[in-house]
């Protein structure tokens, strides 16, 4: 599985640098003392079970945690290299600046498109609206741009599909629409929060291949959030493993898959199905929950 992965040489500077990040909801810490760097054109996978803190990390980067009345970023810095080369701590900028950065420079793809797309507008209009808001393009130019983006994410018959509503599209097509919206302004960083979880394995593979191609086309760096180590092996250069709000292991995908240091990482790897692993058994083996020493 991991043998298919080819490690690329990447720039050593950081496009995004998170240092000592802690996020609290009421009395509970969802993220504690988290640090990592994201390099140019790198895919960093943040992996862990539900409640590990991986999605909260993405919300903190987007400046969305404190829009919740119970959420607070308690400490840490989130330094982002803006297009001119200027390093900006996203925690220190006013909300007006963050609204400019969101979508233009850092975009996010969410897990379930039906909860993110507006059911009462055709998908082409929704992509065009992103272009109008962020680039001040005319209505005609934004519609043309929407069709180009739909072509870019390999949606067939873009002109016809653009006039359809979200419920008229398959799950894979809806996710492609979400990717088109996220790429509208060619962001430097793309955060993908479990974008393939709700899809079947064939469509999942297509979406992963599409993200790899688009990353190279627009030169973006990707933070890919998932609970699936099989997906990590397919798309990522490096992996950060989280458990109970803490980072427990990090390294290149090749190194972590070859020699995981933590029992919890080994547990995640053992959950990935392997062809032929049940050949000598009539019934499934129980899933081990032991994480002693993790």
What would the two tokens of residue 76 be? 């840490």
Q: Find residue 175's DSSP bridge partners.
A: none
Tens of pLDDT along the chain (294 residues) come to 444 444 444 456 899 999 999 999 988 999 999 999 999 999 999 999 999 999 999 999 999 998 766 899 999 999 999 988 889 999 999 999 998 999 899 999 987 777 889 999 999 999 999 999 888 889 999 999 999 999 999 999 999 999 999 999 998 999 999 999 999 888 999 999 998 887 888 888 888 999 998 888 889 999 999 998 989 999 999 999 999 999 999 999 999 999 999 999 999 998 776 544 445 556 655 555 444 444
- With b for 16 or more beta-carbon neighbours within 10 A and e for fewer, the 139-168 pattern comes to eeebbebbbebbebbbbeebeebbeeebee
Which pLDDT score, from 0 to 100, does residue 218 have?
87
Can you give the pLDDT at residue 103? Answer: 84
How many CA within 13 A on the CB side of residue 5?
23
The answer to whether residues 155 and 71 touch, using CB atoms and an 8 Å cutoff, is: no
pLDDT at 277: 46
Q: Spell out the domains of the chain, with CATH numbers in brackets.
A: 12-105+189-272+287-294 (3.40.50.300), 113-184 (no CATH)
| Cβ-contact 171, 199 below 8 angstroms | yes
What pLDDT, on the 0 to 100 scale, is given for residue 114? 78
Q: What is the pLDDT of residue 83?
A: 84
pLDDT at 274: 58
Rounded Cα distance between 206 and 212, Å, is 10
Residue listed under structure tokens 């129980």: 286
- Percent helix, strand, coil in the chain (nearest 5)? 40, 25, 40
Question: In this predicted structure, what is the pLDDT of residue 113?
Answer: 78
Distance CA 30, CA 125 (A): 36
């Amino acid at each position: 599985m991991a043998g298919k992965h080819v490690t690329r040489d990447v720039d050593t500077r950081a496009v995004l640098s998170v240092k000592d990040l802690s996020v609290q909801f009421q009395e509970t810490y969802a993220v504690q003392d988290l640090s990592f760097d994201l390099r140019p054109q790198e895919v960093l996978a943040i992996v862990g079970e539900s409640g590990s803190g991986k999605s909260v990390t993405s919300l903190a980067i987007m400046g969305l945690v404190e829009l919740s009345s119970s959420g607070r970023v308690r400490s840490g810095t989130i330094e982002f290299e803006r297009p001119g080369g200027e390093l900006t701590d996203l925690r220190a900028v006013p909300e007006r600046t963050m609204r400019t950065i969101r979508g233009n420079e850092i975009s996010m793809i969410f897990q379930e498109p039906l909860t993110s797309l507006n059911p009462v507008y055709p998908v082409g209009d929704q992509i065009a609206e992103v272009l109008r808001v962020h680039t001040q393009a005319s209505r005609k130019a934004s519609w043309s741009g929407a069709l180009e983006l739909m072509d870019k994410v390999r949606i067939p018959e873009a002109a016809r599909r653009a006039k359809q509503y979200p419920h008229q599209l398959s799950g894979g097509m809806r996710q492609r629409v979400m990717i088109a919206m996220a790429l509208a302004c060619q962001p430097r960083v793309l955060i993908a929060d479990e974008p393939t979880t709700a899809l079947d394995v064939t469509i999942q593979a297509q979406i992963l291949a599409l993200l790899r191609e688009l990353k190279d086309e627009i030169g973006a760096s990707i933070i890919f959030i998932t609970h699936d180590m099989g997906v990590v092996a397919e798309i990522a250069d490096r992996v950060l493993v989280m458990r109970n709000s803490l980072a427990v292991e990090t390294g290149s995908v090749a190194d972590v898959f070859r020699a995981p240091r933590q029992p919890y990482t080994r547990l995640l790897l053992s959950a990935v199905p392997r062809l032929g692993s049940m050949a000598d058994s009539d019934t499934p083996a129980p899933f081990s929950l032991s994480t002693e020493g993790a």
